[in-house]
């Protein structure tokens, strides 16, 4: 008997329950397959940056499989008929995969499961929990409803134990040469642009890269996580988000390794840092649970009142926001970091999202789309939650009237201006006093720093105070 292991967004060999079940089962052949079928993800097929990562990550998975005697079979969709072909070609008696929770994929996978059951009554079809510590249908409030607030959600799930990560197979049976595969390059995921080469210098996609990233974080960073995680100029967080998104490392591995690390250290403070890091993994869980229970939220606000919010039509200010040319240094620094590295620090994600939705009053869905196309870690659960949080219309969201002032954010979290100077070098010579609000700097200070507003650096596209007031007035219209 042979088993097909259908890889989807679980590009790892360790702690991969579908692969493990095939290894532990009584199979004399295992066929690892990836089926490229972005159309089946509807409006939320992987964006530009995600596709680049996906290409690299698939290449790493293919290498890892080869190193243990196997081979990644790559096919083009549609998934259903491709699986049928593979079953017919190989005579497979089983198909295994790991579950995902995005609404489009939940529907697609249910259709495939029911089709396989009808077309191949003898086939063993099984799917596994791998991407979430707790399945969305197992966590509910006392009233039997899905949680919409993080703290009680996290309290509930952190009391439960989680399984140990599953072992990595050391060897797999060879895949018959007659099971054909297309070339990874045929999928057209990685455009031949210089952009991808430079952007990838910051990252190592793949399972080994993910493990190395976790170890570096534990060794160098976690012991001050709670303080440094809000300072964009320092590497104060784990940078695991794209690795977690593509399933190069599982949340089970991250949680257990963090516990293990804690038990190896002496001294009290690290305990709190580890806990707050683990609670971020909790936010990841929360976002997937919210998405599962409220499948319209990538497009519609969870808070219905916001359907009537008077948003502005995106105009040139939206283009300036995307290009990091708004004339507001913290916003521009964040947007430029995103474009240059496929990543943006969380503090900046909150700042630029608040600026877009409140100061420019452009609907959060436009920002969500731009992030979807440019973030390596673009993730439907986390991105939806983040944007609805910032716009004040989502689960456990910041209230609408809490409007970030980007200049104050800069003064607080980028005290020495290192982050702004790194990404907005045209302001590098301005003193800290004026760096975050160059429009208020005296002419002399601007001149000494070689800054000509409107020429070497834009004038602000919007007045922060006036636009804040207008946003609050607009909110009055939908508040009740």
Task: Tell me which residues are annotated as active site.
Answer: 280, 283, 311, 346, 364, 387
How many Å apart are CA 415 and CA 418, to the nearest integer?
8
356 among annotated binding-site residues: no
The residues in 361-400 that bind ligand FAD, with binding defined as CB under 6 A, are: 371, 375, 377-379, 382-383, 385-387, 390
Smallest distance from ligand FAD to CB 450, Å: 33
Per CB under 6 A, the segment of 348-356, 392-400, 444-452, 472-480 that binds ligand FAD is 348-356
15 among annotated binding-site residues: no
Smaller CB distance to ligand FAD: residue 92 or 244? 244
343 among annotated binding-site residues: no
The answer to the question of residue 100 lying near ligand FAD (CB under 6 A) is: no
In degrees and rounded to multiples of 5, residue 179 shows phi and psi of -85, 100
Widest CA span in the chain = 81
And the tokens for 253? 């591995």
Smaller CB distance to ligand FAD: residue 90 or 341? 341
375 among annotated binding-site residues: no
Interface size with ligand FAD, residues (CB under 6 A): 28
Interhelix angle for 329-341 vs 406-413, to 10°?
A: 70
In degrees and rounded to multiples of 5, residue 38 shows phi and psi of -60, -30
The residues in 287-346 that bind ligand FAD, with binding defined as CB under 6 A, are: 287, 346
| From 108, 190, 231, 349, residue interacting with ligand FAD (rule: CB under 6 A) | 349
Smaller CB distance to ligand FAD: residue 74 or 281? 281
Q: How many residues does the chain have?
A: 480
240 among annotated binding-site residues: yes
The residues in 190-249 that bind ligand FAD, with binding defined as CB under 6 A, are: 229, 237-241, 244-245
Number of Cβ within a 10 Å radius of residue 163: 11
Smallest distance from ligand FAD to CB 28, Å: 38
467 among annotated binding-site residues: no
- C-beta of residue 200 within 8 angstroms of C-beta of residue 56: yes
Smaller CB distance to ligand FAD: residue 210 or 424? 210
How many Å apart are CA 138 and CA 134, to the nearest integer?
7
Smaller CB distance to ligand FAD: residue 79 or 382? 382
Smallest distance from ligand FAD to CB 122, Å: 40
CA distances from 397 to 175, 209, 390, 400 (A): 49, 33, 7, 8
220 among annotated binding-site residues: no
Smaller CB distance to ligand FAD: residue 3 or 254? 254
- C-beta of residue 365 within 8 angstroms of C-beta of residue 273: no
287 among annotated binding-site residues: no
Smallest distance from ligand FAD to CB 346, Å: 4
Smallest distance from ligand FAD to CB 377, Å: 4
From the annotation, which residues make up the binding site for FAD? 225, 237-241, 277, 377-379
From the annotation, which residues make up the binding site? 225, 237-241, 277, 377-379
Residues near ligand FAD (CB under 6 A) are 229, 237-241, 244-245, 280-281, 283-284, 287, 346, 349-350, 353, 371, 375, 377-379, 382-383, 385-387, 390
């Amino acid at each position: 008997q042979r088993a097909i292991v259908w890889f989807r967004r679980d590009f790892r060999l360790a702690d991969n329950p579908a692969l493990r079940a095939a290894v532990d089962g009584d199979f004399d052949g295992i066929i690892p397959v990836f089926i490229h079928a972005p159309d089946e993800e509807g409006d939320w097929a992987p964006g530009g940056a995600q596709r680049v990562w996906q290409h690299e990550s698939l290449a790493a998975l293919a290498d890892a499989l080869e190193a243990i005697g196997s081979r990644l079979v790559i096919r083009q969709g549609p998934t259903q008929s491709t699986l049928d072909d593979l079953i017919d070609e190989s005579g497979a008696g089983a198909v295994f995969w790991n579950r995902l929770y995005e609404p489009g994929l939940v529907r697609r996978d249910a259709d495939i499961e029911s089709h396989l059951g009808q077309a191949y009554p003898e086939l063993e079809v099984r799917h596994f929990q791998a991407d979430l510590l707790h399945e969305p249908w197992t966590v509910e409030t006392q009233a039997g409803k899905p949680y919409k607030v993080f703290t009680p959600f996290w309290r509930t799930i952190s009391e439960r134990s989680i399984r140990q990560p599953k072992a990595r197979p050391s060897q797999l049976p060879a895949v018959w040469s007659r099971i054909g595969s297309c070339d990874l390059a045929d999928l057209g995921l990685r455009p031949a642009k210089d952009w991808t080469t430079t952007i990838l210098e910051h990252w190592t996609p793949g399972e080994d890269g993910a493990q190395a990233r976790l170890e570096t974080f534990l060794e160098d960073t976690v012991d001050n996580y709670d303080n440094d995680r809000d300072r964009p100029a320092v590497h104060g967080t784990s940078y695991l988000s794209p690795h977690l998104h593509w399933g190069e490392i599982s949340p089970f591995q991250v949680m257990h390794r963090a516990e293990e690390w804690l038990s190896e250290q002496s001294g009290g403070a690290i305990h709190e840092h580890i806990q707050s890091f683990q609670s971020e993994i909790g936010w990841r869980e929360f976002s997937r649970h919210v998405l599962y229970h409220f499948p319209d939220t990538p497009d519609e606000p969870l808070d219905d009142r916001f359907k009537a919010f008077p948003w502005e039509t995106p105009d040139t200010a939206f283009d300036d926001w995307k290009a990091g040319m708004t004339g507001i240094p913290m916003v521009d620094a964040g947007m430029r970091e995103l474009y240059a590295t496929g990543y943006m620090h969380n503090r900046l994600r909150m700042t630029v999202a608040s600026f877009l939705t409140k100061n420019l009053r452009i609907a959060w869905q436009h920002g969500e789309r731009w992030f979807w196309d440019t973030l390596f870690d673009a993730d439907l659960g986390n991105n939806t939650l983040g944007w609805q949080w910032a716009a004040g219309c989502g689960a456990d969201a910041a209230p609408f009237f809490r409007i970030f002032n980007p200049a104050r954010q800069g003064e607080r979290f980028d005290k020495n201006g290192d982050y702004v100077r790194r990404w907005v070098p045209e302001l590098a010579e301005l003193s800290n006093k004026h760096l975050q609000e160059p429009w208020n700097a005296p002419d002399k200070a601007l001149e000494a720093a070689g800054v000509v507003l409107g020429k070497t650096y834009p004038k602000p596209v919007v007045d922060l105070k006036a636009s804040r007031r207008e946003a609050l007035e607009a909110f009055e219209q939908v508040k009740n």
